[in-house]
């Protein structure tokens, strides 16, 4: 790993263009403090101090790309509601167009509410409809992809299992991207992991990788077995298994697996770490980086965001500081 080489790749980020397809979520954070236990039940009483609403899921991926100087095009579905309008407004402030956001009257915008006190998440409440989008919405999603594909270098598929990223959508978008010779990076869920055939890179975490091939990762040997089997089954260029505090391991055809140790100094909140990895990985690939260099950069980025509470997008300054710290 050469930090100077990685810095040169970062300099090309402002010319990258990325299409993000995935489930959009509105993340609500309620911050407070705990001084007592409720007399009504054995639970903490959180005294609210502040709250915020931020675009999450695939919108968080797009926010990273914009924050790091790239151009993000987002394709997804929101409800025809106030939360959907909030997502659109927040994305607009980040320079991300709402052209690819389709309003669905049949489903509300997904809302995840997290209550946090003393840097710890107390509880999370999910308000969502995970039913698959209907055929009319599928046609609209594919039409948006057709309209945008020539504007981008890389396609990200960010699957949160909320009903937008389904085979009738991603199979056609993968075909389209291949036809246009675009690289494809996928952050999968186990249900569809083996269906992402022939993509550039797929980034399951250890649990998702285990679920995809029905084998447990217990040590280095079993990790290698899972990674190689996944690589063979989906016939992709590479598989990048993210492993939390153990870093990540890259599997490429014809090469030995490479394990990259984590660069996180402190871990406060793993929320959004996978989104950070896929965003930076795709931008590096758009900047013509090798898969290994792209993986190193995404690992540095993940090390920064897990040191934060909540889903504040990564900044270029933070990423450069992380690289510089490793130099020293």
Task: Select which of 23, 159, 275, 293 is catalytic.
Answer: 275
Contact in structure between 223 and 216 (CB atoms under 8 Å) = no
pTM value > 0.85: yes
CA gyration radius for the chain?
A: 19
User: Residue 165 belongs to what domain range?
Assistant: 3-25+56-108+130-327
Whether residue 63 lies inside any domain: the answer is yes
Q: What's the pLDDT score for residue 20? A: 97
Q: pLDDT by residue (tens digit) across 150-179?
A: 999 999 999 999 999 999 999 999 999 999
Gap between the Cα atoms of 117 and 120, Å rounded: 5
Q: pLDDT by residue (tens digit) across 268-292?
A: 445 557 888 899 999 999 999 999 9
Whether residue 301 lies inside any domain: the answer is yes
Specify the number of domains making up the chain.
1
Query: Shortest CA distance to 54 belongs to which of 318, 314, 313?
Result: 313
Distances from the Cα of 137 to the Cα of 96, 98, 119, 162, 169, angstroms: 21, 16, 39, 14, 10
Mean pLDDT, to the nearest integer, of 24-43? 94
If pLDDT is split at 50, 70 and 90, which confidence band does 328 have?
Answer: low
The burial of 12, by beta-carbon neighbours within 10 Å (0-12 exposed, 13-18 middle, 19 or more buried), is given as middle
Q: What's the pLDDT score for residue 273? A: 77
Whether residue 44 lies inside any domain: the answer is no
DSSP 104-163: ETTSPPEEEEEEEETTEEEEEEEE---SPPPHHHHHHHHHHHHHHGGG-SEEEEE--SSS
Whether residue 181 lies inside any domain: the answer is yes
What CATH number is given to the structural domain containing 145?
Answer: 3.40.1190.20
- Three-state SS at 79: strand
Whether residue 115 lies inside any domain: the answer is no
DSSP 215-262: ----SHHHHHHHHHHHHHHHT-SEEEEE-GGG-EEEEETTS--EEE--
Whether residue 43 lies inside any domain: the answer is no
- Three-state SS at 98: coil
**Quick check: is 275 catalytic?**
yes
| Residue 45: strand pairing partners | 36
If pLDDT is split at 50, 70 and 90, which confidence band does 307 have?
Answer: low
């Amino acid at each position: 790993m050469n930090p100077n080489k990685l810095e040169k790749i970062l300099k090309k980020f402002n010319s990258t263009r990325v299409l993000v397809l995935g489930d959009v979520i509105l993340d609500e954070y309620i911050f407070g403090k705990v001084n007592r236990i409720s007399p009504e039940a054995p639970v903490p009483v959180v005294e609210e101090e502040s709250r915020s609403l931020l675009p999450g899921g695939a919108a968080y991926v797009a926010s990273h790309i914009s924050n790091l100087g790239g151009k993000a095009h987002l394709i997804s579905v929101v409800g025809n509601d106030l939360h959907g309008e909030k997502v659109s407004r927040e994305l607009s402030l980040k320079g991300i167009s709402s052209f690819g956001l389709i309003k669905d009257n049949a489903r509300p915008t997904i809302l995840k509410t997290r209550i946090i006190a003393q840097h710890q998440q107390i509880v999370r409440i999910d308000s969502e409809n995970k039913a698959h989008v209907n055929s009319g919405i599928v046609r609209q999603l594919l039409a948006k992809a057709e309209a945008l594909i020539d504007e981008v270098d890389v396609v990200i598929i960010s699957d949160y299992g909320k009903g937008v990223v389904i085979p009738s959508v991603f199979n056609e978008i993968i075909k389209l991207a291949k036809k246009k010779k675009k690289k494809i990076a996928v952050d999968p869920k186990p249900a569809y992991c083996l269906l992402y055939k022939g993509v550039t890179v797929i980034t399951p975490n250890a649990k998702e990788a285990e679920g995809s091939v029905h084998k447990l990762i217990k040590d280095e040997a079993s990790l290698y077995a899972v990674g190689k089997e996944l690589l063979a089954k989906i016939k992709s260029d590479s598989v990048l298994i993210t492993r939390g505090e153990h870093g990540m391991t890259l599997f490429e055809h014809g090469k030995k697996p490479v394990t990259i140790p984590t660069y996180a100094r402190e871990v406060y909140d793993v929320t959004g770490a996978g989104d950070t990895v896929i965003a930076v990985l795709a931008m590096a690939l758009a900047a013509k980086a090798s898969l290994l260099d792209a993986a190193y950069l995404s690992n540095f980025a993940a090390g920064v965001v897990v040191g934060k509470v909540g889903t504040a997008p990564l900044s270029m300054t933070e990423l450069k500081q992380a690289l510089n710290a490793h130099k020293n």
